[in-house]
Structure 1
Amino acid sequence: MEAWKVNIISVWFGCFFTGLAMSQILPFLPLYVEQLGVRSHEALSVWSGLVFSATFLVSAIASPFWGSVADRKGRKLMLLRASLGMAVVIALQGFASNVYQLFFLRALMGLTSGYIPNAMALVASQVPREKSGWALGTLSTGQVSGVIIGPLLGGFMADHLGLRVVFLVTASLMLVSFLITLFLIKERRLVVRKVDQLKGRAIFASLPYPRLILTLFITTMMIQLTNSSISPILTLFIKDISPGINDIAFISGAIAAVPGISALLAAPRLGRLGDRIGTSRILLAAMMVMIVLFSFMALVNTPLQLAVLRFLMGFAEGALMPAVQTLLVKHSSDRVTGRIFGYNQSFMYLGNVAGPLIGSSVSAVMGFRWVFIVTALLVLVNTLQLWSGFRKIRQSASS
């Protein structure tokens, strides 16, 4: 079997275990904060938000640095750093004795993150360019599969074995990712010496379409923002439209998970279609579908209607991130790919931070339904930016 095919299979399992590990912990962080001695409702809300956001904020700051190291030392080294680092830090979180230790360790985890973006960059740099859309779409199903299974497995362990066990099992899964990366992944890389490495503006000056790359960064932030803006209000919105409903937590969890199922089905197929008809067309179509679906979500009256719309949204979500990453590869060189993906990762984490803030703020001031409308408008603005960027590229190519 060709080396790049072995890499895809190996990295798929690494992304699966990483997605599984991350999603096992996040839903239960507030419960762990409470277990560490935070009792009042106000303090619990504040500390849960701080503990959740600390990782993403540090990751957003550190990602460009790790991207620079990846260009010089290789992406396999970054995968080993991320998987082993997360295994150690997550295991230590399971032994935290107060919320201050947990906050510090969550912030420290931001320095160890980056397995999945570096895995995407490694695969994108190894596969034939004409197969990059299919490869990245297939790879994204690994993370999505882990994210779907993670909360179920984490919930079972939390109920039957205790919250601290969840951290230790999660650390073990990251250790498995480390071993898979160490023994199975082979990297063919272009060595860039530090003295020859482009810096700052020179990176973007070396790109044929720097404005498009920046727009794609914003698209990455928007993808994460759309996912996370709904998170703070989803359960409350379901309760609002169906006040007498039973099993609200289970129904909310199911509605939160359904986009992952359709994304799992769609990602490799849409990636292959993008390789044939153009990744930019797939990206624009998926963004427009998102706008329509978010607009309809503002009008739903039952949880079933919301579930159906979110299931349909998953088909669009399955195309978005692989399409962005494919375009980043196509419009940059191997010399700067690591830093381009590092910057892109920073924007991804910024979306994770901004989304819940926007969602909770809009719902507090204007009501739950306006969260969907505001999200649709933000996606619309970004879609127009993308359309303008792609049109300029077509005009430049034709002239």
Structure 2
Amino acid sequence: MPSSETPINWKRNLAVAWLGCFLTGAAFSLVMPFLPLYVEELGVTGLRELNMWSGLVFSITFLFSAIASPFWGGLADRRGRKIMLLRSALGMSIVMVLMGLAQNVWQLLILRALLGLLGGFVPNANALIATQVPRNKSGWALGTLSTGAVSGALLGPLAGGLLADMWGLRPVFFMTASVLFVCFVITLWLIREQFTPVSKKEMLHFREVIGSLKSPRLVLSLFVTTMIIQVATGSIAPILTLYVRDLAGNVSNIAFISGMIASVPGVAALLSAPRLGKLGDRIGPEKILIAALVVSVLLLIPMALVQTPWQLGILRFLLGAADGALLPAVQTLLVYNATNQIAGRVFSYNQSFRDIGNVTGPLIGAAVSASYGFRAVFFVTALVVLFNVVYSTLSLLRPRARKAAVER
């Protein structure tokens, strides 16, 4: 293990953290394609029960992650971010092994909740890099880091499906655990952090954390923006395959077409995030954020009017390119408005809002589509994002107006 006196190379840390986020993203998405099949294998029968249990098993991880994130963020600010990365990777690895040994759906549900409680690799990696990278490179660094989890999430479902076909469902959990353990090892040996532990008495309390922010209302608006980004993404997820089937008609390769259309936003985000992050460093991340939100609204509306799957695919690719700028821009603005002392908690609060969006988005999409049809989901989602455009613009303008008044 490297000497603690060796100067930190933040670029190497960024590369290793990117690999860790890639492995974590891949590990999480490896089991997603067949999670309902595993629920069925554990004894759940009947379409209604299967749908209910599959939804519970999927969403409970995000729910418990939202609850646990602030606690882990506070611990990260006290003990360091590297130890939180190690805790997350090793904890998730152990839970994945136990999932592969589950004997009934209740055990799986409890283990999925435990996975949410022990997670948090990606937000802690963001906090680690945000506190080490030069401020004028924050947008590029966090944009680049975001592509790690996106790349893993794109590769995971394909690899998981192939492995499940070859080896069965349970072995994939053990393979996923191995991937997470590799993430633990590379983090242990290659990530460098110079962190002086802070005693509990010296830790800032919640009110002091809020008071130390440069613009508390702006930070709250950024949390809300993160939530709405995930709501917008998740609201479309439950109905996408069915919407594609309506557009395509009676074709034999509907699964392939749906898979392609589902994955193209991730590919676009992978290409756009570092470039738009770098542009944000030059012109300001707030401009990138507002522009990307406006573009998202303008792309969501025609998605409700398309007539073919390929039209939908092109629009989703463009939407992915805009979405690739959103979370890195939010994270960069959080870096600008928080000190290193509270970075762990600020990023963990942001993760909680993201998880809330992951839970509520699919519920909104399913409810709207059940009442008003598939196309209505895109209009409702566009309205939600439009609200966020107005809210974010006002929140970003307020600190500028205050600063201008002080200078006068």
Counterpart-to-counterpart distance in 2, 1:18 and 1:304: 31
Counterpart-to-counterpart distance in 2, 1:190 and 1:342: 20
Match of 2:209 among 194, 203, 207: 203
Code of the aligned partner of 2:380: V
Code of the aligned partner of 1:172: S
Match of 1:252 among 243, 249, 258: 258
Partner of 2:49: 43
Partner of 1:240: 246
Residue 27 of structure 1 and its aligned partner are, at CA, apart by 2.1
Residue 72 of structure 1 and its aligned partner are, at CA, apart by 0.2
Code of the aligned partner of 2:216: P
Match of 2:236 among 219, 230, 237: 230
Q: Which deviations, in whole Å up to 9, do the C-alpha atoms of 1:65-106 show, x marking residues without a partner?
A: 000000000000110010000000011101111111111111
Q: Which deviations, in whole Å up to 9, do the C-alpha atoms of 1:122-178 show, x marking residues without a partner?
A: 001000111010000111111111111111100100111111111111110000110
Partner of 2:194: 188
Instruction: Please report the TM-score for the alignment, with normalisation by the length of structure 1.
Output: 0.98
For residues 137-286 of structure 1, the aligned pairs below 5 Å read 137-189=143-195, 191-286=197-292
For residues 310-389 of structure 1, the aligned pairs below 5 Å read 310-389=316-395
Match of 2:64 among 58, 65, 85: 58
In the alignment, does 2:121 pair up with 1:83?
no
Contact 1:190 1:335 in 2 (8 A): no
Q: Which deviations, in whole Å up to 9, do the C-alpha atoms of 1:344-363 show, x marking residues without a partner?
A: 11001000000000000000
Code of the aligned partner of 2:210: F
Contact 1:7 1:186 in 2 (8 A): yes
Q: Which runs of 5+ in 2 are unaligned?
A: 1-6
Counterpart-to-counterpart distance in 2, 1:142 and 1:360: 29
3-state SS of 2:226 partner: helix
- Aligned-pair identity in percent equals 58
Q: Which runs of 5+ in 1 are unaligned?
A: none
Counterpart-to-counterpart distance in 1, 2:227 and 2:295: 18
Contact 2:129 2:142 in 1 (8 A): yes
Counterpart-to-counterpart distance in 1, 2:319 and 2:167: 35
3-state SS of 2:163 partner: helix
Instruction: Please report the TM-score for the alignment, with normalisation by the length of structure 2.
Output: 0.96
Counterpart-to-counterpart distance in 2, 1:240 and 1:247: 13
3-state SS of 2:341 partner: coil
Partner of 1:124: 130
In the alignment, does 2:32 pair up with 1:26?
yes
127-136 vs 388-397, which moves further: 388-397
Code of the aligned partner of 2:382: A
Code of the aligned partner of 2:32: L
Question: CA separation of 1:190/1:386 partners in 2, compared to 1, >3 Å: closer, same or farther?
Answer: farther
Contact 2:79 2:196 in 1 (8 A): no
3-state SS of 1:198 partner: coil
Counterpart-to-counterpart distance in 2, 1:253 and 1:126: 38
State the aligned residue count.
Answer: 399
3-state SS of 1:159 partner: helix
